């Protein structure tokens, strides 16, 4: 399913997605002027939270326990954000880091699940879990309303990315173009939600 040429690129994409999510966790700590310890913890839990839940659900070895680079990426990212003045970051920087992270990790989570024999629909759901759970845990720890309880287009963007990726693979498209198209679609939807304030209609019963 994945050629030897594409596999290293996906591995680097995995680390990049982790770093982006870790930055969003560190920025959540920065907003509250927390210590470096809190920065590191928020970065780690946001970076690996979704992938950890995914691996536990599909019976795979927990990825960051098997490879030290993932935890190191989170900690280094936390340190870099810690050393950067708050004035450097735009007020919506956390949202934009999240937008990149969910797009990449929704695709990567679905791909990893499929390579381990998970069927198409559960693999799509694993992509959503990979992309969203870390941010949900971060919000709960930060004392903010969970993204699940806000009408923002967040989980929907992850579902678009992972669902489109699974569909394109099922239609026979190679992994790399399918991943690029799907991640771009998920990021585009989330970006428009941030830029235009798009939201899902709430229940009015």
pLDDT in tens, 174-186: 888 998 999 999 9
**Res 9: pLDDT:** 67
Burial category of 7 from C-beta neighbours within 10 Å (exposed 0-12, middle 13-18, buried 19 and up): exposed
Residues 174 and 90: beta-carbon distance below 8 Å = no
pLDDT at 41 over 60: yes
pLDDT digit string (tens) for 50-82?
Answer: 999 999 999 999 999 998 999 999 999 999 999
Q: Could you tell me the residue range of the domain that residue 127 belongs to?
A: 6-196
Q: What is the per-residue pLDDT for 187? A: 93
Average pLDDT over the chain reads 86
Is 153 within the bounds of a domain? yes
pTM flag (> 0.75): yes
Please report whether residue 204 resides in a domain: no
Strands (E), the chain: none
Structural domain includes residue 202: no
Query: Would you state the pLDDT for residue 6?
Result: 58
pLDDT at site 30: 85
Residue 205 has what pLDDT?
65
- Cβ-based neighbour number of residue 133 at 10 Å: 21
Question: Could you give the 3-state DSSP secondary structure of residue 34?
Answer: coil
Q: Return the DSSP state at 148.
A: G
Residue 192: inside a domain: yes
Number of domains in the chain: 1
Q: Which two tokens stand for residue 130?
A: 């990979």
On whether residue 201 sits in a domain, the answer given is: no
Q: Is residue 130 part of a domain?
A: yes
- The CA distance from 158 to 156, in Å, is 5
2 — pLDDT class (breaks 50, 70, 90) = very low
Query: How does pLDDT run across 80-128, given as a tens digit for each residue?
Result: 999 887 777 666 777 787 788 889 889 989 998 998 999 999 999 999 9
φ/ψ of residue 12, rounded to 5 = -70, -35
């Amino acid at each position: 399913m994945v050629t030897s040429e594409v596999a290293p690129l996906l591995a680097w994409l995995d680390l990049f997605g982790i770093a982006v999510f870790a930055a969003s966790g560190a920025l959540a700590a920065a907003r509250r002027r927390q210590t470096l310890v809190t920065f590191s913890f928020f970065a780690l839990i946001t970076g690996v939270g979704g992938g950890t839940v995914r691996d536990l659900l599909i019976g795979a070895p927990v990825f960051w326990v098997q490879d030290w680079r993932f935890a190191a990426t989170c900690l280094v990212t936390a340190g870099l954000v810690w050393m950067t003045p708050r004035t450097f970051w735009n007020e919506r920087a956390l949202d934009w880091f999240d937008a990149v992270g969910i797009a990449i990790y929704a695709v990567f989570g679905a791909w990893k699940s499929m390579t381990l024999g998970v069927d198409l629909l559960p693999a799509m759901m694993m992509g959503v879990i990979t992309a969203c759970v870390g941010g949900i845990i971060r919000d709960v720890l930060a004392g903010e309303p969970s993204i699940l309880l806000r009408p923002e287009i967040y989980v929907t963007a992850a579902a678009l990315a992972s669902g489109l990726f699974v569909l394109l693979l099922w239609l026979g498209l190679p992994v790399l173009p399918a991943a690029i198209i799907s991640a771009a679609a998920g990021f585009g939807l989330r970006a428009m939600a941030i830029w235009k304030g798009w939201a899902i209609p709430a229940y009015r019963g």
